[in-house]
Amino acid sequence: MISMKDKLDKIQLTQVGTENSEVFKLVECIGEGGQGAVYTTQRKNLLVKLSIAKEDADDIIKAKYRRYGTLRGRRDLPSYLAKPLSEITPIVRDGFIVYGYVMELMEDMVSLHSLFRKNGEKPTVYISRMGGIQRMYVILRKIAEILDGIHSIGYVYGDLNPNNVFISKDPAYTEVQLIDCDNLMVAADYDGFIYYPGYGAPEILKGIARNSSITDIWSYAVLAFYTLQQAMPFQGKMVMDAGTMELSQLERKAEAGELPFIDEDLNNAAAHALPKDVMESPTLQQLFLKAFGKDSSPISRPVLQEWIAEFQNWEHRFVKCSNKDCGSAYLKYKGVNKCPFCDEKSIESFVVCRKMIRHDLSCSQYDSPIIVVDSPVKVEIPISEYKMLQLEVRLDAKLKKVYIKQFSDEDITVEWSIKGIGTGKKVVLRPNTPNGTGLSVLNKEDNFLQFSEYAFCEGNKAQGVLKFTCGGLNG
């Protein structure tokens, strides 16, 4: 198949202009699909998306340009969506029209696709290029949030795939931006359907549905799965072992989700996939099973809120291997007692924080744990019916202290007890202190910070509690 870039190369286009007489040099093609190609330009953060149509397609182009105009005018679209800034003046050449738009990308972003594992590359090289598994969780959560923002105003994204997702090049950052709003519209406006190979929902491939938020969440599940395991959900043994005769048929079946899910049925297991127990928490594995397993259906497909909650739940449940040659962060859950990358059992010092709201009416339970290793973690605690206090928890393993920093503008008095909730020592957390308040801790000893009691719903009482326990402090 001749690619969009090849077509554009063939007509030797090196620059395009906009209605505002700006000129953009086409520097490098950084992504392409059936719908067009995306180029970097001489302006660092401005990209050009070009598509090509037959010369008599004036009406289609006019309709597209109207849509770009509408999108530009929408203030309620998520800001992490690269909207069209201005339209390219259509160029007629050799019987074709080239058209498109300019969009703005944050600086120093790369496509998710460009980071994926190369042929023969070690999995750990891929994981470290992505900034670790923990960073993957944050990025996947943010993609789900942007998509959810698009759905919440009634739009469908349509063409979610790793070429359209851009993330910070520097692993120290976790910015995410979706580009290419070509297919962004309300579900009812889809005339036919659109999908990127491998990312289309089965009901679209069967021709029984158009694009909708339900098909978007399929594409999202595939994107999340591929990012974590570097394998497509149905491309396992059955496809890999297929003879030449049946290969294309099996590939088609894998594409349409008609083969068994690689993590559910050993007959179609994928030897090339990164191990699920290392890459995914048990509950994430359940979500993938719900999305791709034999009992899955468009109706039971996990919604974006479930993905957001799961990734959020687990993004602070990583510990750090203390083997100096390894130092990997890995998921800590029941049954994991050594580093999956080097089999080392000891881990760097950490604090496990859990918060709870005590009610005098009902039983109270702790939220899911947050593990703090070498960088501070934010926690929120309610201090009145409508007010949350922002806290930052940091461990100084050398000083054997846990530092609590608060972000309100007044003194906050808490009661600090050890071993159980009860009468303790009064501690004042002052605002605007650069390091926060340091509390001396012992290994494996439970500490409780009780915040002041507040009334809610006509006289009921509640109280925020932060429990924290250190591990690995004795080296």
Which of the stretches 37-45, 136-144, 318-326, 378-386 binds Zn ion when contact is defined by CB under 5 A?
Answer: 318-326
Q: Of 22, 344, 348, 392, which lies in the binding site for Zn ion, with binding defined by CB under 5 A?
A: 344
Closest by CA to 138, choosing from 114, 109, 168, 96, is: 168
Measured over all CA atoms, what is the biggest interatomic distance in the chain, rounded to whole angstroms? 83
What angle is formed at CA 267 by the lines to CA 263 and CA 269, rounded to 5 degrees? 40
How far is the C-alpha of 150 from the C-alpha of 160, rounded, in Å? 12
CB of 339 or CB of 391, closer to Zn ion: 339
**Torsion 134-140-145-148 (CA) sign:** negative
Q: 118 is written with which tokens?
A: 């190369």
Tracing tokens 């996939």 back to the chain, one arrives at 273
Interaction between residue 326 and Zn ion (CB under 5 A): yes
**Nearest approach, Cβ of residue 342 and Zn ion (Å):** 3
Q: Does 321 bind Zn ion (CB under 5 A)?
A: yes
CB of 397 to Zn ion, least distance (A): 18
223 vs 329, which CB is nearer to Zn ion? 329
Query: Applying CB under 5 A, which part among 113-121, 176-184, 256-264, 343-351 lies near Zn ion?
Result: 343-351
Token couple for 47:
């990209």
Site size for Zn ion (CB under 5 A): 8
Are 415 and 407 in contact by the 8 Å Cβ rule? The answer is: no
| DSSP codes joined into one string, 70-132 | HHHH-SSS-TTB--EEEEBPPEEETTEEEEEEEEE--SSEEEHHHHSPPTT--HHHHHHHTT-
CB of 171 to Zn ion, least distance (A): 18
Q: In angstroms, rounded to a whole number, what is the distance separating the alpha carbons of residues 118 and 15? A: 31
Closer to Zn ion by CB, 293 or 340: give it: 340
**Residue closer to Zn ion (CB basis): 278 or 414:** 278
Closer residue to Zn ion, CB minimum distance, 459 or 475: 475
Residue closer to Zn ion (CB basis): 312 or 322: 322
Please report whether residue 323 would count as binding Zn ion according to CB under 5 A. Answer: yes
> Which of 435, 431, 427 lies closest to 466 in space, CA to CA?
427
| Spatial contact of 178 and 212, defined as CB atoms under 8 Å apart | no
Closest CB to Zn ion among 348 and 392? 348
| Ramachandran category for residue 434: left, alpha or beta (phi over 0 → left; psi -120 to 50 → alpha) | alpha
- Using the minimum distance from each CB to Zn ion, give the nearer residue, 323 or 417: 323
Looking at 25-33, 115-123, 126-134, 315-323, which segment touches Zn ion (CB under 5 A)?
315-323
Beta carbon nearer to Zn ion, 30 or 339: 339
**Three-class SS state of 227:** helix
Nearer to Zn ion (CB atom), residue 124 or residue 460: 124
- Locate 261 and state its tokens: 């899910």
Closest CB 129 distance from Zn ion, rounded Å? 18
Least CB distance to Zn ion at residue 131 (A): 17
Candidates 341, 350, 448, 468; binder of Zn ion (CB under 5 A) is 341
Instruction: Please report how close the Cβ of residue 206 comes to Zn ion at its closest, in angstroms.
Output: 45
Contact segment (CB under 5 A) with Zn ion among 45-53, 58-66, 334-342, 352-360 equals 334-342
CB of 128 to Zn ion, least distance (A): 12
DSSP 8-state symbol, 265: -
Shortest gap between Cβ of 325 and Zn ion (angstroms)? 8
Nearest 10 degrees: Cα torsion 452, 453, 455, 459: -150
**274-293 residues near Zn ion, rule: CB under 5 A:** none
CB of 277 to Zn ion, least distance (A): 15
Cross-sheet strand order for the sheet of 401-406: 377-384, 387-396, 401-406, 437-440
Site mask for Zn ion (CB under 5 A), range 388-417, x = bound: ------------------------------
Minimum distance of Zn ion from residue 340's CB (angstroms): 8
Which residue stretches of 230-332 are H helix?
237-240, 244-255, 276-279, 282-292, 304-314
Interface positions with Zn ion (CB under 5 A):
321, 323, 326, 328, 339, 341-342, 344
